[in-house]
Amino acid sequence: MSQSSSPLATAYLRFLQLAKAIEGLPSLPALDANESALLDALAVQWFAGNPLTVMQAMGLSHLGSPATMHRRIAKLRKMGMIATDEDAGDTRIKRLVLTPVAVTHFEQLGKSLQTAAASA
């Protein structure tokens, strides 16, 4: 793609550059692409007010097998990016929710998006 690409493409590519820079910040846990994709999927549902259960997250087959998803969930929990909330009516149900660390991660990405939009 040439430097004379459309303003929207330029803004998005600038955002990707800034997002990559955020991934290197020492204040946030380092996520690989698969962990990032899972965190994004969890965040979208959490933000919509419908956090996924562990079982629902393990069923996201486009992101990996159930065993792989379980390992990724465990790793995100260990990193402090997500936590589980028990369902008040059934303690067997565990909902995956974002922690303040994950919210900070998304705030940084939001700032990058603002910066990229302002420079377009």
Q: Which CATH architecture does the domain made up of 7-118 adopt?
A: Orthogonal Bundle (1.10)
Query: Residue 1: pLDDT band by 50, 70, 90 thresholds?
Result: very low
Which comes out higher in pLDDT, residue 27 or 40? 40
Per residue in 62-115, pLDDT tens?
A: 999 999 999 999 999 999 999 999 988 888 999 999 999 999 988 888 888 787
Locate the domains of the chain by residue range: 7-118
Look at residue 3 in the predicted model and tell me its pLDDT.
58
Contacts 24+ apart (CB under 8 A), 68-76: 69/38, 72/34, 72/35, 72/38, 73/38, 75/35, 76/35, 76/38, 76/39, 76/42
Average pLDDT of the residues of the chain: 86
**How far is it, in rounded angstroms, from Cα 17 to Cα 86?**
38
Look at the block and give the residue holding tokens 């990032």: 36
Query: Residue 8: pLDDT band by 50, 70, 90 thresholds?
Result: confident
